[in-house]
Amino acid sequence: MSRQDHIREFAAQALADGRVDYFIGWKQGYNSSEVVPAFVKDPADVDQLIWTPLCHHNLVTFIKRNMPDPADAKIGLCVKGCDSRTLVALLQEELVDKEKLYVVGVPCDGIVDRRKLEKEFADELVDIAFPERGRVVVTTGKGETREFAQDDVLLDVCGRCRYPNALYADDVAGPLEAEPDREESGPDWSDIADFENLSDDEKQAALERVYATCIRCFACVHVCPVCVCWDKCVNRSREPELVAQKVGAKENLLFQMIHMFHVAGRCTSCGACDRACPVEIPLYLLHRKMNKEIYDMFGFEPGTKLDEKPVFQLFDLATDHFGD
Amino acid sequence: MRIGVFVCHCGSNIAGTVDVDRLAERALTLKDVVHGEDIMYTCSEPGQAAIQKAIEEKKLDRVVVAACSPHMHEPTFRRCVDKGGLNPYLFEMANIREHCSWIHTDMPVATDKAWDIIKMAVAKARRLEPLFSNEVEINKDVLVIGGGVAGIQAALDLADAGLKVTIVERETTIGGVMAKLDKTFPTIDCSACILTPRMVDCGQHENIELMTYCEVDKVSGYVGNFTVDIRKKASMVDWSKCIGCEICVQKCPSKAPDVFNVGLEPTKAIYIPFPQAVPKRAAIQTEYCRYFQTGKCKVCERVCPADAIDFEQKDEIVQKRFGAIVVATGLDVFDWETGYPEYGGGKIKDVISGLQYERMLNASGPYGGHVHRLSNGEDPKTVVFIQCVGSRDESVNRPYCSSVCCMYTAKQALLTKDHCGSDVEVYVFYIDIRATGKGYEEFIKRVQTEFGVKYVRGRVSKLYEDGGKVMVRGVDTLLGEQVEIAADLVVLATGIQAPEGAKDLAQKLNISYDEFGFMKEGHPKLRPVETNTAGVFLAGVSQGPKDIPATVAQASGTASKVLGLLAKDKLKTSPMIAIVDQKNCVSCWKCIDVCPFSAPEKQEQRDGTFKSHVIETVCQGCGVCVATCPVNTISLKGFPTDAILDQIEEVLQPTPSH
Ligand SMILES: Cc1cc2nc3c(=O)[nH]c(=O)nc-3n(C[C@H](O)[C@H](O)[C@H](O)COP(=O)(O)OP(=O)(O)OC[C@H]3O[C@@H](n4cnc5c(N)ncnc54)[C@H](O)[C@@H]3O)c2cc1C
Ligand code: SF4
Ligand code: SF4
Ligand code: SF4
Ligand code: SF4
């Protein structure tokens, strides 16, 4: 039985049993080259649900504080390994209620970066097919078809993945994927090595350049599964006006710095912000740098252990996290 | 708005590096500043009078003093402006001493920086609002943690003054280390003779409740209103029935290590530490009890005349409320076996610790006061004392002086002569002799001259067994030569360290401790028995090594501080606390997680949702939640966010150099 069949079966069962009011998974978008989130309420509709390497959405975003509708809804959802870290982070902070969740873990062998594929073609993509594991066949509106190796077109985050299987799940959709030896190899920070090598002034310049094109659509903030402030976001507040309303490189950077601090020690590097940004700003830069600092200083990896609290929520007068 | 700026010379402390007169004049160029004045000592009476005069004459509605750290004199100046007719919170302090004059040498640079600091203070002053204190009722009961001589003294003083006191002691009896000692320096009076009457007084005092074999589990609340969960550890004996007859102890077949006798001889699985224990009650060390280990025995149950044995007993939590807490958790003796492998690491039988020697000397100890070699029971002919074992030694992370070992070694040396006859050879290896108390130096002299104890200055590098003797190898640094002594008995003057669990307790109480686990006082000179958490006080060795006279004196000092606090019926709370603007709260509960005092709570709203609310009386105004709240909806009264932004803006304005 395929992972997709497992998902459909688990969803149908949970809906039929009344264990959940609705089930969140993925379904095909406007054509077979695109996937969008799916909210299924009727067991008869579970056949919409799919599982392919295009299912990039971190569905945990849809259950973060104040999101469920009605507020006490019982929700089922699919999580990949990376998404499960976000879920663990929210559970650590008691921002979601375990009792109201039904979680299906989906072992994942890497998500395809649709933007990378788009850049390979002049025309619009109409179909992306996966005839077998590792093969990606892309067809454009003009009928051009090309094949890629899945590993060559993965999301950057997938290249560094250490958690292919869910860290928290009630049921698992099929056999687990092979796990790296996490004791042996720590997180891979190669993606920010270039940035780290810059001087302070160069870093400032690089960041201002990167954020210059931000249009303040706030998509990155909305999609961020650990960002919880909604319309109270200080980046939009006029009282106090921490960030000026005018859109400029410095102000944009300040906005992102604030976001970085709010998710410091909580960001699970899911990459949702990167994928949501319409102007393709590499938002990971600041968040990953902060995560690395936190990892080096406290040995803390957000969203990996249920019984931990985020380091910055552990303020304690008496303990000295820095040792001697 | 009418702001007055007062710039302090602090003698030459500030004026030596900062051009004070110019700054006072220049302050007048700032918006809203209508008065600028430099004063020699602003905190002095004439200094304060000058402020009050200016408030009246210039109709000031904000006052800025540029002087030392607010830690030092903010309360002084708040009182001063209050008396001058202004709300005390319309005052702002600019620290141009610790933050400026003391750390710079170049006058123009320091003056520029002082100007920045003053500008920022004025910017903040513009945003200040009057604040008003509240009053809360206080509970007058006192918790004393630790029933050593410190805890006993503090409890008796407080109880005699009419307060209800609860002593929580983790052993089954009060008494602490002093109950184990034989005689005490410098008077050589019997420790038990002076301590046990006090212990009995504690046991019988109508205002004292003894909770022995108990520990503090959890502390919440604040000065005047602490709530404490106390864990009553299961003793497996119903203490309301036990009469302390010790029949169970005699009949129990299982041996167990005797903590009271510092492991010299074993006691029984069911034990009473010593005959004068208060309360005198038995307890079972279950890890050594035959019944608990094998399921068979119950001898004690059969022999107990009071039917007191209860094998089913469980730990119990009792919740109590107190207005103040005294920490008197005392000391542990340095664990020399692991620290000093060169002294045999505990494997040489005739090498013992100072506390073990006290038990050996003690007539009610395990040997009836017979000083002898543990290896063969013979009387020693040569006894060597080694000082500073686990004190003043960086290599075992004990750089501090334990402050009692010089004196107790001299005492023990004297008592050795007394017990074994004057022809016993007694040597003391020492680094320095520290005998600073009243009559102490004279005591040491007497031990050296009258009793003929030989003092050798130098460290002992090695102890080893040879031919039935303990060989002591060291250097006499005065003579500059190697010495080797064949000893029958070696006593290590083991130092004092913080007791096990001290850090844990400090964390529960929100008080700080030093790197060695001794509790930190509020100020080493001016607040020696207070802590930085209001309502929590220190007594005895918990705060740092000291002898019995100092411990008792300090405990009485602590009691008087507690009495001073609890003499009032109501307590003024600081108005500089956090407040949540609930309309923006997104219920992320980060404030609850980070608050070290558990001040924010989830408060139900009319629509059934929950928002954060800071309990006014619990908040200490530390500001951690303010910095944490992602939506900036908590503010600290007295520190408006806009004031901070204004300050930043002010300091970013370039200062024209003069
Ligand atoms: C070998 C030796 C000889 C000495 N000889 C002399 C002398 O001759 N003259 C002299 O003046 N001084 C002498 N001293 C010093 C003297 O022992 C101390 O000054 C004195 O005992 C300090 O009393 P205290 O109440 O502060 O501490 P302690 O006597 O240690 O009492 C602390 C009490 O608190 C209890 N406790 C600890 N932690 C907790 C907890 N978390 N919860 C509940 N209870 C707790 C302990 O069980 C203990 O009963 C000697 C010390 C030693 C080691
Ligand atoms: S998604 Fe991109 S453009 Fe939109 S606010 Fe975030 S960084 Fe700016
Ligand atoms: S049950 Fe037996 S071993 Fe245990 S305390 Fe009682 S007599 Fe001692
Ligand atoms: S300021 Fe905030 S964190 Fe500090 S004590 Fe008050 S409520 Fe707690
Ligand atoms: S941190 Fe701020 S937003 Fe979060 S619960 Fe506390 S007051 Fe509300």
| Secondary structure, 3-state, B607-623 | CCCEEEEECCCCCCCCC
Tell me how far apart the alpha carbons of residues A239 and A242 are, in angstroms, rounded to a whole number. Answer: 8
Contact residues for B586 (Cβ-Cβ < 8 A; gap 6+): A65, A66, A228, A229, A230, A232, B630, B631
Of A95, A233, A324, the CB nearest to B588: A95
pLDDT surpasses 60 at A318: no
Q: Which two tokens stand for residue B155?
A: 């409890």
Q: Hey, what CATH topology would domain B332-497 get? A: FAD/NAD(P)-binding domain (3.50.50)
**Residue A319 near chain B (CB below 8 Å):** yes
* Beta strands at B578-580 and B425-430: parallel, antiparallel or unpaired: unpaired
Report pLDDT for B220.
Answer: 87
3-class DSSP assignment, residue A16:
helix
Which of A90, A232, A316 to mutate to probe the B interface, most B CBs <10 Å?
Answer: A232
Residue of B nearest to A311 (CA): B594
Q: Mean pLDDT, to the nearest integer, of A6-22?
A: 96
Ligand 4: residues with CB < 6 A are B 577-578, 595, 597, 599-600, 614, 619-625, 636
Q: What is the pLDDT of residues B487-500, one digit of tens each?
A: 999 999 999 999 99
Q: Hey, what CATH topology would domain B574-637 get? A: Alpha-Beta Plaits (3.30.70)
Residue nearest (by alpha carbon) to ligand 5 atom 6? B591
Tell me the chain B residues in contact with residue A230 when contact means C-beta distances shorter than 8 Å: 586
Sheet of B425-430, strands arranged across:
B351-353, B489-494, B382-389, B425-430, B454-457
Tell me the chain A residues in contact with residue B513 when contact means C-beta distances shorter than 8 Å: 318
The shortest C-alpha distance from B512 to chain A (Å) reads 6
| Contact indicator for B198, B156 with CB cutoff of 8 Å | yes
Q: Mean pLDDT, to the nearest integer, of B90-99?
A: 97
Tell me how far apart the alpha carbons of residues B252 and B271 are, in angstroms, rounded to a whole number. Answer: 9
3-class DSSP assignment, residue A133:
coil
Instruction: Please give the interface size between A and B, counted as residue pairs whose CB atoms are below 8 Å apart.
Output: 68
Report pLDDT for A114.
Answer: 94
Residue of B nearest to A227 (CA): B630
Q: What is the pLDDT of residues A226-270, one digit of tens each?
A: 998 878 888 887 777 788 888 888 889 999 999 999 999 999 989
| Contact indicator for B283, B237 with CB cutoff of 8 Å | yes
- Burial zone of B382 (CB within 10 Å; 0-12 exposed, 13-18 middle, 19+ buried): middle
Confidence of residue A324 (pLDDT cuts 50, 70, 90): very low
Ligand 1 atom nearest to CA at B152? 25
Q: Hey, what CATH topology would domain B142-330+510-566 get? A: FAD/NAD(P)-binding domain (3.50.50)
Partner-chain contact B630 A318, CB within 8 Å: no
* Beta strands at B496-497 and B165-169: parallel, antiparallel or unpaired: unpaired
- Would you give the DSSP letter of residue A32? B
Report pLDDT for A314.
Answer: 79
3-class DSSP assignment, residue A138:
strand
Q: Hey, what CATH topology would domain B3-131+644-652 get? A: Rossmann fold (3.40.50)
Tell me the chain A residues in contact with residue B628 when contact means C-beta distances shorter than 8 Å: 312-313, 315
Confidence of residue B655 (pLDDT cuts 50, 70, 90): low
pLDDT surpasses 60 at A323: no
Residue of A nearest to B642 (CA): A240
Q: Which two tokens stand for residue B450?
A: 């009258």
3-class DSSP assignment, residue B29:
coil
Report pLDDT for A256.
Answer: 92
What is the number of the ligand closest to the CA of B255?
A: 3
- Burial zone of A187 (CB within 10 Å; 0-12 exposed, 13-18 middle, 19+ buried): middle
Q: Mean pLDDT, to the nearest integer, of B151-178?
A: 98
| Contact indicator for B559, B552 with CB cutoff of 8 Å | no
Ligand 1 atom nearest to CA at B541? 26
What is the number of the ligand closest to the CA of B637?
A: 4
pLDDT surpasses 50 at A322: no
Tell me how far apart the alpha carbons of residues B410 and A78 are, in angstroms, rounded to a whole number. Answer: 75
Which of A64, A95, A229, A235 to mutate to probe the B interface, most B CBs <10 Å?
Answer: A229
Partner-chain contact A312 B631, CB within 8 Å: no
**Residue A94 near chain B (CB below 8 Å):** yes
- The CA distances from residue B55 to A184, B48, B70, in Å, are 69, 11, 20
Q: Is the CB of B362 within 6 Å of ligand 3?
A: no
pLDDT surpasses 50 at B271: yes
Partner-chain contact A318 B512, CB within 8 Å: yes
pLDDT surpasses 90 at B358: yes
**Residue A66 near chain B (CB below 8 Å):** yes
Which of B512, B592, B594, B595 to mutate to probe the A interface, most A CBs <10 Å?
Answer: B594
Report pLDDT for B489.
Answer: 97
Name the residue of B247, B284, B292, B310 to mutate for ligand 3: max ligand atoms within 8 A of Cβ: B284
Give the torsion through C-alpha atoms of B456, B460, B464, B465, to 10 deg: 10
Residue that is written with structure tokens 């003579």 in the block: B479
Q: Which two tokens stand for residue A156?
A: 């950057």
- Would you give the DSSP letter of residue B534? T
Report pLDDT for A239.
Answer: 73
pLDDT surpasses 80 at B540: yes
What is the number of the ligand closest to the CA of B622?
A: 4
**Residue A315 near chain B (CB below 8 Å):** yes
Q: What is the pLDDT of residues B277-292, one digit of tens each?
A: 999 999 999 999 999 9
Q: Mean pLDDT, to the nearest integer, of A147-155?
A: 95
Q: Is the CB of A281 within 6 Å of ligand 2?
A: yes
Tell me how far apart the alpha carbons of residues B357 and B383 are, in angstroms, rounded to a whole number. Answer: 11
Q: Mean pLDDT, to the nearest integer, of B603-618?
A: 90
Partner-chain contact B593 A309, CB within 8 Å: yes
H/E element holding B624? helix B624-628
Q: Mean pLDDT, to the nearest integer, of B27-49?
A: 96
Contact residues for B111 (Cβ-Cβ < 8 A; gap 6+): B18, B19, B22, B23, B658
Name residue B399's amino acid.
Answer: P
The shortest C-alpha distance from B38 to chain A (Å) reads 35
Dihedral (CA of B432, B438, B441, B446) sign? negative
Ligand 3 atom nearest to CA at B270? 5
Report pLDDT for A229.
Answer: 85
Of A230, A240, A318, the CB nearest to B586: A230
Domain residues of chain A, as ranges? 1-111+157-184, 112-153, 190-313
Q: What is the pLDDT of residues B143-161, one digit of tens each?
A: 999 999 999 999 999 999 9
Ligand 2 atom nearest to CA at A213? 3
| Contact indicator for A26, A49 with CB cutoff of 8 Å | yes
- Would you give the DSSP letter of residue B523? B
Q: Maximum distance among all alpha carbons in chain B? A: 93
Percent of chain B with pLDDT over 70: 99
Residue-wise burial string across A227-240, b where 16 or more C-beta atoms lie within 10 A, e elsewhere: bbbeebbbbbbeee
pLDDT surpasses 70 at A121: yes
Q: What is the pLDDT of residues B312-326, one digit of tens each?
A: 999 999 999 999 999
Tell me how far apart the alpha carbons of residues B591 and B448 are, in angstroms, rounded to a whole number. Answer: 63
* Polymer length of chain B: 658
For B299, other C-beta atoms within 10 Å of its C-beta total 18
Query: What's the pTM value of the predicted model, to 2 decimals?
Result: 0.70
Of A229, A313, A315, the CB nearest to B586: A229
Topology alike, domains B142-330+510-566 and B332-497: yes
Partner-chain contact B641 A240, CB within 8 Å: yes
- Burial zone of B247 (CB within 10 Å; 0-12 exposed, 13-18 middle, 19+ buried): middle
Q: Mean pLDDT, to the nearest integer, of A154-164?
A: 92
Q: Is the CB of B284 within 6 Å of ligand 3?
A: yes
Distance B605 CA to ligand 5 centre (A): 14
Partner-chain contact A65 B587, CB within 8 Å: yes
Q: Which two tokens stand for residue A306?
A: 């249920």
